[in-house]
Structure 1
Amino acid sequence: MSHVPHELHEEFPEAIETLRALKAGDAHFSRLADEYHTINREVHRIETNVEPAADEVLEDLKKKRLHLKDQIAALLAAAANTAS
């Protein structure tokens, strides 16, 4: 398994401009993106053994990251629908 960080611009390459606009103009989105980034970095550090942790800790962080990604995806979809 490759241990590649899951950055938002890589997860949503088609929405890079929307990501930037929402992060700059929507405090809630910005908070979600910042939290995603923090958890994502922690997952990456654990997966690359920079910061070892128990499997349960890693799985919990991955679930949190996925939940945040789902929320971010919903906000991106809503923004795309209002822009259309």
Structure 2
Amino acid sequence: MLGEMHDILHEFPHLEGKIHTLHETNGEFARLMDEHDQIDTQIRDLEERGAPIEDLDIEQMKKLRANLKDQVYTLLRAL
């Protein structure tokens, strides 16, 4: 949906404490989370502004965001 927040804290609010701890102590987790949230911001900005972008390009960005989210969640569950 347009403008909907998909950053990691909005996706997993019940894990907020663990997210903050891992972001501070685990470099790989921090990198994945930051990359995910950056892509999410770019997608949201493009959608809200109605910026011209090919459907394939925005879909690729959304697939990357989903992949990063899966990797973040895997680390949340494992640690």
Higher RCO, 1 vs 2 (CA within 8 Å, ≥6 residues apart): 2
1:3 offset after TM fit, Å?
A: 2.3
Aligned to 1:82: none
Where structure 1 has 5 or more consecutive residues not aligned to the other structure, the ranges are 80-84
1:2 offset after TM fit, Å?
A: 3.8
1-structure distance, mates of 2:21, 2:63: 26
The percentage of counterpart residues that share the same residue type is 33
For normalisation by structure 2, the TM-score amounts to 0.91
Alignment coverage as a number of residue pairs: 79
Where structure 2 has 5 or more consecutive residues not aligned to the other structure, the ranges are none
Answer yes or no: is 1:75 the counterpart of 2:75. Answer: yes
Which structure is larger by alpha-carbon Rg, 1 or 2? 1
For normalisation by structure 1, the TM-score amounts to 0.86
AA aligned opposite 1:69: K
